[in-house]
Amino acid sequence: MDATSETGLILYRRMQLIRQTELTLARAHQRGLVHGACHTYVGQEAIAAGVCHHLRREDVVFSTHRGHGHALAKGMEPGELIAELFGKETGCSGGRGGSMHLFKPEIGMMGTSGIVGPCILQACGGGYSFKLLDSANVAVAFFGDGAVNNGAFHEGLNMAAIWKLPVLFVCENNQFATEVPFDYSSGNPNVAQRAEQFGICGIEVDGNNVHEVEQAAGRALEQARQGGGPTLIECKTYRTRAHAEGMADFTYRTREAVDQWKKRCPIEQLGQALIEAGQAEPEDLNSHRG
Ligand SMILES: Cc1ncc(C[n+]2csc(CCOP(=O)(O)OP(=O)(O)O)c2C)c(N)n1
């Protein structure tokens, strides 16, 4: 198998692992087995998979309330994640944290969080410590469009720029903060463009195209490791389930819009591309389902 098809299959498997874990959790939530809120990552899998493809165990990730995909892509076992949401001692946080307190520092998973924004500053702290230690590790902040009009975004990007911190800022622009459309809440809804104001590089990618995400992240992470400073990547995407399990979904957006985005499923798109390029057979993909 050549390197391209191997990468494709790794990414496919990683995205399926996230999708199947999320669907398992959604069903468990419906049965009342999940304690606390559960924000799934369905539709956005390409972003965690693409970025984390280039991360080493020592690199650190700071996440959000929608962080199951980040934890899994950074190497957390699905069993530890599911057990945590079930409130079991075998969960990654001993069953005392739940979905928004997933921690496993030994693999660089520095936490999901119920507070929108601070992960940006925490990643700057991580990057600053790597700089002081003169290490080639990087810190990654994943955050939604809902975080970019928060002070933490401006403080964090500016600090990372002036100190050339080894940080990657990944904005997952799924177009809504709960029910508020991003183009309503933003004077300038182009997130990538904002990087210029801080003197850093900003890139916009199709967040449902895992290769686009993976390649942009690979270049930005290499730059950060070599002392070239931070990058902001805006990944345009869409969540295809409700904001959180059990919440109503079609008061602020239409079923048709959701259906349109389901057709752009990142997993189906990659699977199709692998088959068309002769890099995988349908049975390979079935055997890589998570
Ligand atoms: C500081 C802060 N303000 C408000 C909230 C309430 N809140 C929870 S989720 C959310 C929407 C976040 O949207 P976004 O960052 O775009 O992430 P998404 O849910 O779309 O993945 C808000 C406003 C919060 N948790 N923290």
Read out DSSP for 155-202? HHHHHHHHTT--EEEEEEE-SEETTEEHHHH-SS--HHHHHHHHTSEE
Question: What pLDDT, in 10s, does the model give residues 119-166?
Answer: 999 999 999 999 999 999 999 999 999 999 999 999 999 999 999 999
- Rounded to the nearest angstrom, the distance between the alpha carbon of 274 and the centre of ligand 1 is 35
Is residue 166 within 8 Å of 225, Cβ to Cβ?
yes
Answer yes or no: is the C-beta of 145 below 6 A from any ligand 1 atom: yes
The residue with tokens 């049975």 is 283
Indicate the top mutation candidate among 64, 66, 116, 174 to test ligand 1's pocket, ranked by most ligand atoms within 8 A of CB: 116
- The residue nearest atom 23 of ligand 1, judged by CA position, is 177
**65 has pLDDT over 90:** yes
Model pLDDT, residue 5: 75
Answer yes or no: is the C-beta of 70 below 6 A from any ligand 1 atom: no
Going by pLDDT thresholds of 50, 70 and 90, the confidence category of residue 1 is: low
Domain count, the chain: 1
**101 has pLDDT over 60:** yes
Is residue 98 within 8 Å of 113, Cβ to Cβ?
no
- The strand pairing partners of 142, in sequence order, are 170
Burial 35-50 (b: 16+ CB within 10 A, else e): eebbbbbbbbbbbbbb
Answer yes or no: is the C-beta of 151 below 6 A from any ligand 1 atom: no
CATH number at residue 114: 3.40.50.970
Going by pLDDT thresholds of 50, 70 and 90, the confidence category of residue 290 is: very low
- The whole-chain average pLDDT of the chain stands at 96
Answer yes or no: is the C-beta of 176 below 6 A from any ligand 1 atom: yes
- Rounded to the nearest angstrom, the distance between the alpha carbon of 163 and the centre of ligand 1 is 28
Is residue 1 within 8 Å of 252, Cβ to Cβ?
no
**How much is the average pLDDT of 2-18?**
90
**286 has pLDDT over 70:** yes
φ and ψ of 204, to 5 deg: -105, 130
- The residue nearest atom 21 of ligand 1, judged by CA position, is 144
Is residue 93 within 8 Å of 42, Cβ to Cβ?
no
Q: 53: domain range?
A: 3-287
Answer yes or no: is the C-beta of 65 below 6 A from any ligand 1 atom: yes
